[in-house]
Amino acid sequence: MTYQEALAAAVIQKTEDNYLRITFRYDLTIVLSYKEGIAMLQAFGKAEQLYTPYKEQHRIAGINEDTLKVEIMSAVVYRRYKIAALMGITIEEVTQAEEKSQGYP
């Protein structure tokens, strides 16, 4: 492929929207479209946390920095997770299948 062909292909390619992966605790992660994720994060701007410990005083306090973790997830990675779930295989196996289909050894 020449430089001009690669440039033309790069300009034509449509960039897909990304996603946000939001982890609330070790066992709860949600994925939202980037736009919806940002809207949700804006709602957290003034959020507080309700603590209801057993046999202790309940209280409302600010959210600490460990309450949630936010990461951008590319459309490619999102698609890999969807394919893996549909096929009942691991992400690594999906990646290997992609590489094989693109001619990698």
- Inside any domain, residue 7: no
- 65-78: b (≥16 Cβ within 10 Å) or e: eeebeeeebeeebb
CB 38 within 8 A of CB 50: no
- Inside any domain, residue 33: yes
Q: Are 69 and 85 members of one domain?
A: no
Q: Are 65 and 33 members of one domain?
A: yes
pTM over 0.85: no
Domain count for the chain: 2
Q: What is the pLDDT of residues 82-92, one digit of tens each?
A: 999 999 999 99
Q: What is the mean pLDDT of the chain?
A: 88
Domain span holding position 44: 17-73
